Chain A
Amino acid sequence: MNRREFIRWAGVGAGALMLPLPLVGKSVSTESLLEPRLTQAQKKELADAGLNAAKAAGASYADIRIGRYLNQYVITREDKVENLVNTESFGVGIRVITNGTWGFASTYEVSKEGIAKAAQTAVAIAKANAKIQTEPVKLAPTPALGEVSWKTPIEKNAFEVPIKEKVDLLLAANAKAMENGANYVNSLLFQVNEQKYFASTDGSYIDQDVHRLWPICRVTVIDKETGTFKTRNEFSAPVGMGYEYLEGRKEGKTTTPAGAIVYGKSYDILEDAAYAALQAKEALGAKSVQAGKYDLVLDPSHLWLTIHESVGHPLELDRVLGYEANYAGTSFATLDKWQSKSFQYGSKMVNLFADKTQVGSLGAVGFDDEGVQCKRWDLVKDGVLVNYQAIRDQVHILGEAESHGCCYSQSWADVQFQRMPNVSLAAGKTPLSVAEMIKNVEKGIYIIGDGSFSIDQQRYNFQFGGQLFYEIKNGQIVGMLKDVAYQANTQEFWNACTQICDEGDYRLGGSFFDGKGQPGQVSAVSHGSATARFNGINVINTGRKI
């Protein structure tokens, strides 16, 4: 953490702006979020002005992103609304290649003059940096798409739902938690709408309307006598969906063999808040785990984070190559392992894939932020490492001629770069329910929900906690445990995978604020799986006294 970050997070400035999203824009009224800013024709005219200015200044390639980023936050605790925030960020980012070097500039002056000036600045920066450039940019070709558009397939635009309805829902959830024994509850609703227009000198003009949503409900139960407390986090997932996600539809619910209810494509925050209080109370009085080796049965609400950290990150090609060495880290999954075509990342039943097209996922878009059509591709096939995540200026390193389409920028003001697509574990091909899986476990722990984690800079040695832990003895769940965390390294963990439930149990989890890059940027990404079993994993007791 440097000084600027400390001061930022220390709250110097208006409290309303101390939120974890890039709020470079202005707060706006709720109604104005629904008003269009520019027509498609106006955007094209402005984009052409920028591209022409870049070419005139000497760029051999240019792309431009005209972005309108809308956010709405509803923040509550117990019976109070702490804040309501509407923000809009509107501006233009322009990226160029000049003398084989990237240059980038952005402006909030969305006019032909403002954009042309930014284009000239980007070219000037590229020319200055070309003096010490050693590897000229090699850009993989991508077809000219002409004028195309894409929209997140939502049923109900969250921004069209009255704020009162959202406030009432969160306060009702808080009340449910309090009625069931909670001491404190914080519930929030994050809503994002990215209206992005991309154009490039390749001849693509892409208009996209992207929606994301994340309901949060954190319930805390305190035991003052022992000085301990337990916070049970929500079992919702951040999603690439509309407000329909919050309708709590029956088909979105799954009752686990432990009795806890988990959620798929629909979330019932009232039900979850009530159970959260009851489960937090139960967890406080649960048996402390005996450290040792256990077979772990991991619910998708937990496993998404392990996938994210131990598969998603190490297979980012920029990390592998060293572009993130100074900040996010590097990767144990080096190119020689991939080139061997025999590196056993996991057991033979492990198939991990990247997919920017999964419906309902956070990463789903039609086209990435450098105009490439999105797709699905394999990362680990039958346990063997077969590919990475790469964008237009990287894929030549893999001997490929086509970008994977996973380039992203958090806003118009930031330069786009390689970001993690949705990375998921394919469901098992043989029919298998969670109950059937547990039936064969002699000594195990069933984990639901994600908790704290720690993983090294090469994404190899790690430790994960969780929300709820259930002890399995001779095929039966015998009660709740606490103080559980498991430790492993990436390769031994994924090679310990012995069973994966079938497609019927496949659900998505995800991260709304995955960080990377300098200056730092966030992105949202989902990870799917069915419940999976990992044999003989080392479990520690986190409540032990050192």
Chain B
Amino acid sequence: MPILTEAEARQILEKVVGFSKADECEANLSGGDGGNIRYARNSVSTAGSQSSLQLVVQCSFGKKLGTATINEFDTASLEKAVRRAEELARLAPENPEYVSVLGPQIYDPAQSFAEATAQITPDYRTEVARLSIEPAKKNEAAAAGFFEDRAGFSAMMNSKGTFAYNKSTGMNFTVTVRSNDGTGSGWMMRDFTDVRKFEAAQASQIALEKCLRSRKPQAIEPGKYTVILEPAASIDVLGGMFFNMGAREADEGRSFLSKKGGGTKLGEKLVDERVTLYSDPLHPELPTATWAGDGMPLKKTNWLEKGVVKNMTYTRYWAEKNGVPYVPFPSNLIMEGGTASLEDLIKSTKKGFSLPAPGISAKWTPKLYSTRASPATELFTLKMARLNFPSKTCASTKAQW
């Protein structure tokens, strides 16, 4: 039920927008089905399923905005939601930063839905857990993991005639395998739109192998090391940075993209030229909706190109105020790969670490990034061009951007 077709979604949204007597009205409709399973100590700890369907209505009178949400979809309830949003808009103080809704747009067709993911069953999730737990048990280790999947849709319409619709699926899997002697630990993550690309046994096997190789870690002294970030670690670092790439904060002087004496670092080389960071809703491995929540089309955008800051995100208000194009927040983030393999990176490292993922304690401040090892703890010291020994937890602190 929660995954409405484009025609069904359009029908509901047309009703909603038609009910509005406000100057402007915008409605977002979204829903989906999802499920998850969590296990630890080689046993299932929790599992559940969720269904959701929700309509958000925003109405405005001049620069006064009201928002209401509802999860009932009969005609009377839809009208009630619109009236409530209008009532809140009348009560709200004027927001001088309110910007009128967008007019009609043209969108690229999205590739974000895979039927196989939408058909995942509770038995499939249990099997994913079993494929972690049994190999761990055989190797005197304990698996702790989490698998979740979701299939859903989103649609929006506004009173200027904009309509957008998208269906999407996704699955995410993480697992930590720890040796029973308490010294070894391995972590692995997988994330796909299409579950047919997911090999549960292989993913858990990698975590198990890392666990077995990381037993009996040695302490090392603080100092300068080369750090190799595996993809999950890289994207956590970059994601943290990216959430602070707003143009307004940079213009206001409170961002790592602010410059001494005023202005921003847009167009300046910020990091090594091997770093290119972009977003692309049509990327085959990370397909997403091709529109933002306000109906703005999402296109491939370079944020860092060969180390140079090419774009910052703009809100519509800030873009209009500064007379520049609106750059919405993207729906994915991709760091362009080089030509070397992980093995190549390891071989070319004299003294360093391989870091699978940063810990959840990692925290950005507007100018400071510090990170620690993941919960999984496995850090491999690379020395003299080979994996030498596993090391205990460590922290890198105060990388200044």
A→B interface (CB under 8 Å): 1-4, 6-7, 9-17, 24-29, 80-82, 84-87, 101-106, 108, 121, 124-125, 128-129, 131-135, 163, 167, 183-184, 220, 222, 224-227, 229, 231, 309, 321-330, 334, 413, 415, 417, 452-458, 460-461, 463, 515, 518-519, 540, 542, 544-546
Contact = CB atoms under 8 A, between A and B. Distances in A.
B151 interface: no
B67 A85 contact: yes
B122 A128 contact: yes
B286 interface: yes
B88 A13 contact: no
B84 interface: yes
A24 B52 contact: yes
Contacts of A9: 243
Contacts of A27: 56, 67-69, 84, 88
30 contacts: A3-B191, A6-B239, A11-B292, A12-B329, A16-B67, A26-B69, A27-B67, A80-B97, A85-B67, A105-B49, A125-B48, A128-B122, A133-B43, A227-B253, A309-B361, A322-B142, A325-B176, A326-B146, A326-B175, A326-B187, A327-B375, A328-B375, A334-B182, A452-B363, A454-B370, A454-B395, A456-B359, A461-B372, A540-B397, A546-B400
B350 interface: no
A324 B145 CA distance: 9
Nearest to B371: A454
B361 A457 contact: yes
A121 B67 contact: no
Greatest chain B CB density within 10 A among A101, A224, A231, A540 is at A224
Interface stretch (B3-11, B32-40, B195-203, B268-276): B32-40
B44 A226 contact: no
Contacts of A519: 36, 148
Nearest to A313: B361
B146 A7 contact: no
B260 interface: yes
A413 B50 CA distance: 8
Contacts of A183: 252-253
Interface string B222-244: 00000000000001100100010
A408 to B, nearest CB: 14
Nearest to B252: A184
B92 A81 contact: yes
Contacts of B293: 11-15
Given A26-B71, A81-B95, A129 B191 contact: no
B395 A129 contact: no
Interface of B: 28, 30, 36-38, 40-50, 52, 54, 56, 58, 67-71, 84, 87-88, 91-93, 95-97, 122-123, 126, 129-130, 133, 142, 144-146, 148, 150, 154, 170, 172, 174-176, 178, 182, 185, 187, 189, 191, 235-236, 239, 243, 252-254, 258-262, 286, 288-289, 292-293, 329-333, 359-363, 365-366, 368, 370-377, 393, 395, 397-400
A326 B145 contact: yes
Contacts of A329: 359-361, 375
Given A4-B172, A6-B333, A326-B146, A457 B400 contact: no
A515 to B, nearest CB: 8
Given A226-B260, A229-B253, A456-B361, A13 B146 contact: no
Contacts of A129: 37, 44, 47, 126
Contacts of A1: 235-236, 239
Given A7-B331, A13-B28, A222-B253, 11 more contacts: A2-B191, A6-B332, A11-B329, A12-B292, A227-B259, A309-B361, A326-B375, A327-B174, A329-B361, A518-B146, A542-B398
A277 to B, nearest CB: 14
Contacts of B172: 2-4
Given A132-B133, A135-B41, A546-B399, A454 B372 contact: yes
Contacts of A163: 91
B46 A417 contact: yes
A456 B397 contact: no
B56 A17 contact: yes
B49 A322 contact: no
B126 A128 contact: yes
A455 B375 contact: no
Contact of A10 (B54, B97, B182, B331): B331
Contacts of B95: 80-82
B398 A546 contact: yes
Contact of B372 (A11, A334, A456): A456
A7 B175 CA distance: 22
Contact of B359 (A13, A85, A222, A457): A457
A454 B243 contact: no
Nearest to B175: A326
A132 B129 contact: yes
Given A80-B95, A84-B92, A16 B56 contact: yes
Contacts of B48: 104-106, 125, 415
A102 B45 contact: yes
Greatest chain B CB density within 10 A among A25, A84, A220, A456 is at A456
Contacts of B122: 124-125, 128
Given A80-B96, A325-B176, A454-B395, A29 B87 contact: yes
Given A80-B95, A325-B375, A518 B36 contact: yes
Nearest to A121: B49
Nearest to B53: A108
Contacts of B288: 7
A98 B210 CA distance: 35
A96 B243 CA distance: 40
Nearest to A224: B262
Contacts of B123: 128
Contacts of B97: 80, 82
B336 to A, nearest CB: 18
A495 B398 CA distance: 26
Given A131-B126, A546-B399, A12 B71 contact: no
B297 to A, nearest CB: 13
5 closest residue pairs by CB, A with B = A227-B260, A329-B375, A518-B146, A326-B144, A326-B176
A101 B44 contact: yes
